[in-house]
Structure 1
Amino acid sequence: MEPAQKDRTPFSDIDGLSAQMSEIVLDALTEMGRHPEIQRVRRTAFDMLGPAAGERLLDAGSGSGEVARLLAARVGPAGEVLAVDHSSAITAAAVSRHDGSAVSYLTGDAAALAMPDDHVDGVWCERVLQHVDDADATIRELVRVTRPGGRICLVDTDWGSLAFDGMPSGLGEVVLAHVRGHFTPRQHDMGRTLRRRLVGAGLRNVVAAPVTCLFTSPESAAVVLPMVNPRVPEETWATPPGLRDEWLACVDAAGQSGTFLAVLTIWVVAGTKA
């Protein structure tokens, strides 16, 4: 994902992780990209960005490159996609998965891009801004490299919207209080602020869509929500002794009874550079 972070999530500094944790994070990114709810979010974002044949697009915080390759299919051989990620390990993984489409994989900082002004026709930036130190400065940089009339599409999570049912509510609140800033970024409300930030950056025709992701089983939720995933190593939990096991037992019981439910809103916001 992205650069200079103020939180302590595993996505904050992938290159600083152990080989085991780096592999876990990469697998998590891949699995999330395949999840039907994340794909639903991305369909909304594709509609808002409207990639067209022959365009040069930037995927800022491109991860393993699956979105960049989808964008490349839209812009065709006459177009180009610049896939930029802060992690050299993730960039190397993206290169290893390259499908021959018009994607260039680069290691770089979305807040300080090595690109001239007005260089791209559009920008995709997915679940990156929740991690950076200064989201507005990063947005200004994305605007800088976009040509006048170009479209910028931001996708980010509103972790404050995360809610569960089927487990004791008090227990869930305690767990979330402990894992915030660890499993979830400290900038937990980023998604809901995107519209304001794009308006403030001077973009026009700003549109916003909240996409509420619904998970009706622990297995489905665990792909996106690490706090219900028993495969996340115990040592990475920032909870008092016993709380993790108590919580996961409740999650499993809710799954067994069919009463488990989790919801999380991810916002898609796009605007046009004046």
Structure 2
Amino acid sequence: MEPAQKERTPFSDIDGLTASMSEMVLAALTEMGRHPEIRRVRRTGVDALRPALGARLLDAGSGSGEVARKLAAEVGPRGEVIALDHSAAITAAAVSRHDGSNVRYVVGDVGDLDLPDDCVDGVWCERVLQHVDDADRAIGELCRVTRPGGRLCLIDTDWDSLAFDGMPPRLWDTVARYVNRHFTPPQRDMGRTLRRRLVAAGLSGLTATPVTCLFGSPDSAAVVLPMVNPRVPADSWHAPLGLRDEWLACVEAAGARGDFLAVLTIWVVAGTVPDGLAPLGGISPR
């Protein structure tokens, strides 16, 4: 993820965080990966990627490596997964959790991959492009390293789809002005733009699936949505303390009444790299 975005979300420059904040982000990533709704998104992604036995895959923005290890099980002992992440700290954590499967962990930049052309059979890139400065350049790189006939599976969030019920709408409108600047990335619409970006990149056989994640309790929502998580430090809000406290009190009350609801759409978009794909975004073949 791009260091230039570190002032926006903690996920953008994990290596620039304090040790305690880095541990908090890693714990959040781990907990998120266990959430039933995120698992549902990932099942949709695996169906779209169609990993085959013996395939070589790239997990671009692999985090703690849990998806890479699951993909390794899909491709079997003759296959391989390259788990690439921008953060050295998160990559080290991924290595510490390695399970012996055919996963190779590397530190790298999704926008400037140190990999040869046509070297993988498929790419998985989950909730990464919303954080980078130039998503189309990154997609061009992902296409470059994928052989003709290989598949790209891009997964990303449409933060503009986030909606709540059970809380005063005007309060959320006020809170959103703060959390949209500090809890969500600049590319808030990334999820719904993925199909257009792959059309522009020249991929074929496109599929685009919106997965609406439903959170029926504050505890469930807090795993994915930092603005309802009381454990997120108050100074991360950059908002009046009274506003944060009022909002979290309303969230708690809605949970107690049983009428809390949050919904968020995450898009799963996949396509096939054709023969003779032209470089995208001015990136020359290597």
TM-score by length of 2: 0.94
Quote how far apart the aligned CAs of 1:181 are. 2.9
Match of 1:231 in 2: 231
Distance apart, 1:129 and its partner CA: 0.4
Distance 2:269 2:181 in 1: 24
Q: In structure 2, what is the equivalent of residue 268 of structure 1? A: 268
Structure 2 contact 118–145 (Cα < 8 Å) conserved: yes
Show the 5 A alignment for 1:15-164: 15-164=15-164
User: In the TM superposition, what whole-angstrom CA distance separates every residue of 1:176-206 from its partner, at most 9, and x where no partner exists?
Assistant: 1111131111110100000000010010011
What is the match of residue 281 of structure 2? none
- The 8 Å contact of residues 234 and 241 in structure 2, kept in 1 or not, is answered as no
Structure 1 residue matching 2:131: 3-state secondary structure = coil
- Supply the distance in 2 between the matched residues of 1:241 and 1:263 (Cα, whole angstroms): 25
CA distance in 1, matches of 2:214, 2:87: 30
Tell me the distance in 2 between the aligned counterparts of 1:4 and 1:136: 17
Runs of 4+ residues deviating >3 angstroms:
4-7
AA at the equivalent of 2:2: P
Alignment partners' CA distance in 2, 1:212 and 1:33: 16
Q: Calculate the TM-score normalised by the size of structure 1.
A: 0.98
C-alpha distance in 2 between matches for 1:241 and 1:68:
40
Write the distance in 1 (CA, Å) between the matches of 2:85 and 2:130.
Answer: 15
SS of 1:110's equivalent in the other structure is coil
The letter of the residue matching 1:81 is V
Preserved contact between residue 4 and residue 133 of structure 1 (Cα < 8 Å) = no
**Matched position secondary structure for 1:130:** helix
1:232 counterpart letter in structure 2: V
**Distance in 1 separating the partners of 2:138 and 2:33:** 23
Distance 1:5 1:222 in 2: 26
User: 1-side partners of 2:14 and 2:251: how far apart?
Assistant: 28
CA deviations on 1:102-126 (whole Å, 9 max, x unpaired) are 0000000001111000010000000
Q: Cα deviations across residues 114-143 of structure 1 (Å, max 9, x unaligned)?
A: 100001000000000000000000000000
- Structure 2, unmatched stretches of 5+, are 275-286
Are the aligned partners of 1:5 and 1:131 in contact in 2 as well (CA < 8 Å)? no
Instruction: Tell me the distance in 2 between the aligned counterparts of 1:59 and 1:273.
Output: 16
Say if 1:10 and 1:17, in contact at 8 Å, map to a contact too: yes
Offset from partner CA, 1:38-96 (integer Å, 9 cap, x none):
00000000000011110000000000000000000011110000000000000000000
| C-alpha distance in structure 1 between counterparts of 2:4 and 2:67, whole Å | 22
Name structure 1 gaps, 5 residues minimum.
none
Q: Separation in 2 of the partners of 1:119 and 1:135?
A: 21
What's the CA shift for 1:240? 1.9
Alpha-carbon distance, 1:265 to partner: 0.1
1:217-272 CA distance string (max 9 Å, x none): 00000000000000011111121231110100000000000010000000000000
Count of residue pairs the alignment pairs up: 273
CA distance in structure 2 between the partners assigned to 1:35 and 1:139 by the alignment? 27
CA RMSD of aligned residues (A): 0.8
**Identity, % of aligned positions:** 74
SS in 2 for 1:181: helix
